[in-house]
Amino acid sequence: MELPSKKLRQQRAALGARQGDPETPASGTLYARRRRLAQELESIESEQSAPADFSLSPSRSSQVGISLARIQRSVAEVQRDLQALDAEIEDLQQQIDAIDRVLVRCERKA
């Protein structure tokens, strides 16, 4: 019975590594991606809510144009990506929970 539980532990570790830690997300994890998307959303929302300054100098105007050109995605697009990512994180968590339940049963039998 050791081999199935070992394989389950490895699978759980791989899923956990992919998901990451919500408190301290490591680069490349789903929680790190979620943090970046949340920051992107916050940045877009703050840009959209900032009052326009029409008295910009020509050099300042070109800097603002460059800044706005970077923000090509809409709030709705980022929110949609966040929702999809949250669903993926939830799915991974459910898989981890299912593996944990199987491991508990395996340990009780041992």
CA 64 to CA 71: how far, in whole Å?
Answer: 11
CA distances 100 to 2, 17, 19, 55, Å, are 15, 15, 15, 61
In which residue are the tokens 């039998």 written?
109
CA 46 to CA 89: how far, in whole Å?
Answer: 27
pLDDT tens-digit map of 57-108: 555 444 455 455 455 688 999 999 999 999 999 999 999 999 999 999 988 8
pTM of the model: 0.75
CA 92 to CA 20: how far, in whole Å?
Answer: 10
pLDDT tens-digit map of 36-52: 999 999 988 888 777 65
CA 52 to CA 109: how far, in whole Å?
Answer: 67
